[in-house]
Amino acid sequence: MTAEPGGETAGSEAAQALEEAADSPGLDFLARSGFAVLALLHILIGSIAASVAFGGYGQAETSGAIGPLARSEPFGPLLMWAGCIACASLALWQFAEATVRVRRRPTRERLAKGISSGSLVFIYGSVAATFAAFAGGTGRDSGDRTSDFSAAVVASPAGAPALGAVGALILGIGAYFVFKGSARRFRPELKYFEDTRRGHLLNALGVAGHIGKGVALFLVGLLFIAAAVNHQPEESTGLDGSLQALLDYPFGAPLILVIAAGLICYGIFALARARWGRM
């Protein structure tokens, strides 16, 4: 059975239209704003994590960073909707990266980009949904939402193995971030990597930030896998739960400080990408 020429042409035209929309100045601005929002969140989460390492109080997770902003008067709701639009636009931009922008490349490149950018579509979309929930007054603790999600997965026909697969996926993403940082694969994302003081600084921030974020994701993945093995989905409570668990070990607090520094470095790097990133 052969494809209809008209249908094939319509599909190509739709892909071309989507690519042109993704390259528009408006989406470019909003996607860069999304990187700036993510930068702020990583810096806030890293700061909270550092406080936790010293025995302070705070939730080192997305809701822990967004919650205080949502409660700020009188601009809380406005900040929430602005963050939602920015992160949703960044998710849309990554969707174009995973689909129409790579449609003419070899299959292997399309697959790799589909996995890397496709996972970011989900992550950025989740952050946008969190902003929207807080804007609508229904924001919840990220740890509770993660635990509820884990319980739903375990209760599904796929059961605990599916939750373990989620953990393995997060481990893989974490390992990718560590590799990306150590191999300096982030360099093409920025326009300014000449042999200058700025280039050296951004390179150091990129290495430390990606590795720190990768280690944080690795810990979250381990918590999902432990919850699956123990058949206790309530144990998978996200990054904050992972950091709290580390405090029970002698090396816990220093490791949390390292992760916190890495998250802050990643936030500063994301801020630089918002300004000088290749889009």
Quote the CA–CA distance of 167 and 126 in Å, as a whole number. Answer: 17
180 lies in some domain: yes
Quote the CA–CA distance of 145 and 4 in Å, as a whole number. Answer: 46
204 lies in some domain: yes
Residues in the chain: 279
pLDDT digits (tens, 9 = 90+) for 168-214: 988 988 998 999 999 998 888 887 666 778 888 888 999 999 999 99
Average pLDDT over residues 230-251: 80
Contact assessment for residue 225 and residue 167, using Cβ atoms and an 8 Å cutoff: yes
Contact assessment for residue 238 and residue 61, using Cβ atoms and an 8 Å cutoff: yes
pLDDT at 1 over 50: no
Average pLDDT over residues 209-225: 90
pLDDT at 73: 80
pLDDT at 233 over 80: no
106 lies in some domain: yes
Q: What is the largest CA-CA distance in the chain?
A: 66
pLDDT at 3 over 60: no
- The tally of domains found in the chain comes to 1
Please name the residues in contact with 197: beta carbons below 8 A apart, sequence gap of 6 or more. none
Mean pLDDT, rounded, of the chain: 85
13 lies in some domain: no
Q: Which of 40-44, 83-87, 207-211, 240-244 shows the lowest mean pLDDT across its residues?
A: 240-244
pLDDT at 4 over 60: no
7 lies in some domain: no
136 lies in some domain: yes
69 lies in some domain: yes
Share of the chain above pLDDT 90, in %: 32
pLDDT at 10 over 70: no
Contact assessment for residue 190 and residue 277, using Cβ atoms and an 8 Å cutoff: yes
pLDDT at 19: 72
Q: Which residue has the higher pLDDT, 148 or 50?
A: 50
Q: Which residue has the higher pLDDT, 114 or 45?
A: 45
DSSP tally for the chain: helices H, then strands E? 10, 0
pLDDT digits (tens, 9 = 90+) for 95-148: 888 887 777 777 777 787 777 788 888 889 999 999 999 998 887 777 777 888
Give the residue numbers spanning the domain of 196: 19-276
Average pLDDT over residues 51-78: 86
3 lies in some domain: no
